[in-house]
């Protein structure tokens, strides 16, 4: 490093920063951010569940209004309040995202564990399966699966769950491989425990944090793909207030200048996805022993 003046000024800046941050250390700050993100996400979820469908009933007296205090996100061509539709859509997205992320992470955990403990052929087969699912673009696989299942909620959930496990499977497989070579696992095997016993009693407990962090990090992808596939017209039915539906409907009205139909729902979707991303990343930092004391 070039020493001298620059370093001194760096130290000064750091001192100023320190005095601002004196109250909280990095771990505490991460915790606070995580809690805030969790509260925001839960409140949207609860809000969406509590608001009655009455609020998005068609009301032709109030159609095509630009954003105002009464309707913060404006209204659409049927006079429905866009704010309520957005919140409802996000709730639906979070729901679909949760379910598919959980299924996907479950598949990843099972396959990762099988791959690393059940011998060479199983490993080869599962790595090949991972490659197979990565060999076709996600979105194309999604379109194919929803097409096969005839669209709708089921198509989206199955499609998203079946396309998101490969990368997590790889991570879990690598993790298991590391644990597998640990001494206590070797000793346990030599003492006559079966592969299955070792997998469940020695390896699985170590994977729980990995699993939850992986699950949280799958979330944003699941929601993104749910919105994308719905936007393309393969996903949830047009009667549901899904974000993808809202955005694809808005396309027809954009040229007339109704920008608020697309702008606010999109911004909120990004916020939600980013929120889950931050949550997952912070969880990873807090759980990972290498970073725990930073």
Interface with other proteins (CB under 8 A): 1-2, 128, 131-132, 134-140, 143-150, 220, 224, 227-228, 231-234, 247, 250-251, 254-255, 257, 259, 262-263, 266, 269-270, 273-274, 277
3-state secondary structure 173-216: HHHHHHHHCCHHHHHHHHCCCCHHHHHHHHHHHHHHHHHHHHHH
Q: Which is nearer to other proteins, 73 or 199 (CB)?
A: 73
Q: Which is nearer to other proteins, 137 or 205 (CB)?
A: 137
Minimum Å gap between C-beta 8 and other proteins is 16
- Report the candidate in 100, 101, 67 with the shortest Cα–Cα distance to residue 81: 67
Minimum Å gap between C-beta 196 and other proteins is 28
Minimum Å gap between C-beta 275 and other proteins is 9
Minimum Å gap between C-beta 15 and other proteins is 15
End-to-end CA separation in angstroms for the chain = 23
Minimum Å gap between C-beta 67 and other proteins is 14
Minimum Å gap between C-beta 264 and other proteins is 11
Positive/negative CA dihedral, 215, 242, 151, 239: positive
Q: Which is nearer to other proteins, 165 or 179 (CB)?
A: 165
Radius of gyration over every alpha carbon of the chain, rounded to an integer in angstroms: 24
- Residues in contact with 159: Cβ distance below 8 Å, sequence separation at least 6, in sequence order: 141, 142, 145, 146, 149, 225, 229
Query: How many whole angstroms separate alpha carbon 8 and alpha carbon 13?
Result: 9
Q: Which is nearer to other proteins, 35 or 140 (CB)?
A: 140
3-state secondary structure 214-242: HHHHHHHHHHHHHHHHHHHCCCCCCCCCC
Q: Which is nearer to other proteins, 179 or 278 (CB)?
A: 278
Q: Which is nearer to other proteins, 199 or 260 (CB)?
A: 260
Q: Which is nearer to other proteins, 205 or 233 (CB)?
A: 233
Q: Which is nearer to other proteins, 95 or 193 (CB)?
A: 95
Q: What is the DSSP letter of 67?
A: P
- Report the candidate in 139, 143, 152, 142 with the shortest Cα–Cα distance to residue 239: 152
Burial 267-294 (b: 16+ CB within 10 A, else e): ebbeebbebbbbbbbbbbbeeeeeeeee
Minimum Å gap between C-beta 178 and other proteins is 21
CA dihedral (38, 44, 45, 49) in degrees, to 10, reads: 160
Minimum Å gap between C-beta 144 and other proteins is 6
């Amino acid at each position: 490093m070039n020493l001298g003046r620059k370093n001194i000024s760096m130290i000064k800046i750091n001192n100023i920063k320190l005095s601002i941050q004196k109250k909280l250390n990095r771990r505490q700050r991460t915790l606070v951010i995580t809690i805030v993100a969790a509260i925001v996400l839960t409140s949207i979820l609860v809000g969406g569940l509590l608001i009655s469908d009455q609020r998005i009933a068609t009301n032709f007296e109030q159609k095509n209004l630009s954003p105002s205090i009464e309707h913060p996100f404006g209204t659409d061509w049927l006079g429905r309040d866009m704010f309520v539709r957005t919140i409802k859509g996000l709730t639906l997205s979070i729901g679909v995202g949760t379910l598919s992320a959980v299924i996907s992470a479950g598949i990843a955990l099972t396959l990762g564990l099988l791959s690393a403990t059940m011998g060479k052929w199983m490993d080869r087969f599962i790595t090949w399966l991972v490659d197979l699912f990565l060999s076709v673009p996600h979105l194309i696989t999604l379109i194919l699966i929803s097409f096969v299942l005839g669209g709708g909620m089921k198509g989206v959930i199955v499609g998203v769950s079946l396309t998101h496990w490969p990368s997590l499977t790889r991570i879990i497989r690598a993790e298991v491989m590391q644990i597998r070579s640990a001494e206590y696992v070797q000793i346990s095997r030599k003492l006559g425990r079966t592969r299955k016993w070792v997998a469940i009693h020695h390896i699985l407990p170590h994977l729980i944090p990995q699993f939850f962090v992986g699950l949280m990090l799958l979330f944003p992808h699941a929601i993104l793909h749910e919105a994308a596939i719905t936007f393309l017209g393969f996903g949830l039915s047009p009667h549901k207030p899904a974000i993808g539906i809202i955005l694809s409907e808005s396309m027809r009205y954009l040229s007339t200048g109704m920008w608020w139909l697309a702008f606010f729902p999109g911004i909120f979707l990004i916020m939600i996805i980013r929120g889950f991303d931050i949550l997952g990343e912070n969880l990873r930092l807090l759980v990972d022993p290498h970073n725990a004391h930073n």
